[in-house]
Amino acid sequence: MGILASFVLKRCCTRNIAPPTDGDRHLVEHPSVQDGALRHRTVDQEKWGVTLRDLRQFKRLVHDAVMKGIIKPHDRDQFLPSDTSCGPSVYTVTQQFIKPVTEAAGNVSWALMKHPEGLLCDVFITHGWAEGIYEFVDKVEDSWPRGGTAACVCFLSNPQNLDISDLIRSPRESPFARALESSSSMLVIPNHVSSIYSRIWCVYEAFLVHTWNKPIRVAQAPVPTGSDMLRVSCVGLSALAAGLLTGISQATYFGLAKSTEQQLQVVRNAFFYSAAAFGCGIMFLFVMRKHHWIACQLAIYVFAICLETWLLIMTLACGQVPCN
The arithmetic mean of pLDDT across residues 174-187, rounded, is 91
Of residues 226 and 83, more confidently modeled = 83
Residue-wise pLDDT for 93-137, tens only, equals 999 999 999 999 999 999 999 999 999 999 999 998 889 999 999
- Convert the pLDDT of each residue in 133-150 to its tens digit: 999 999 999 899 989 999
Q: How far, in Å, CA of 231 to CA of 251, rounded? A: 30
How far is the C-alpha of 36 from the C-alpha of 104, rounded, in Å? Answer: 10
pLDDT at 231 (0 to 100) = 56
pLDDT digits (tens, 9 = 90+) for 296-307: 777 887 888 888
Name the pairing type of β-strands 185-189 and 216-218: parallel
Identify the weakest region by mean pLDDT among 52-61, 199-208, 279-288.
279-288
Say what the pLDDT of residue 77 is. Answer: 92
CB 198 within 8 A of CB 128: yes
Residue 213's pLDDT is what?
93
pLDDT in tens, 22-79: 999 999 999 889 999 999 999 999 999 999 999 999 999 999 999 999 999 999 999 9
> Rounded distance, CA 153 to CA 230, Å?
36
Contact 138, 222 (CB under 8 A): yes
Residue 301: per-residue pLDDT: 77
Residue 324 has pLDDT above 60, yes or no: no
User: What's the confidence (pLDDT) of residue 247?
Assistant: 56
Is residue 307 within 8 Å of residue 274, measured between CB atoms? no
Element (H, E) at 311: helix 294-318
Q: How far apart are CA 262 and CA 253, in angstroms?
A: 21
224-272 confidence digits (pLDDT tens)? 554 455 555 555 656 655 655 555 555 554 555 555 566 667 777 888 8
- At residue 237, the pLDDT reads 58
pLDDT at 230: 52
Residue boundaries of the structural domains of the chain: 15-218, 227-318
Over residues 85-100, the mean pLDDT reads: 95
Give, as one character, the DSSP assignment of residue 322: B
Q: In the chain, pLDDT over 70 holds for what percent of residues?
A: 78
What pLDDT does 283 receive?
Answer: 86
32 Cβ contact partners less than 8 Å away, ≥ 6 residues apart:
105, 113, 116
Check pLDDT > 50 for residue 323: no
Q: What is the pLDDT of residue 250?
A: 55
Lowest mean pLDDT among 168-177, 181-190, 224-233, 310-319: 224-233
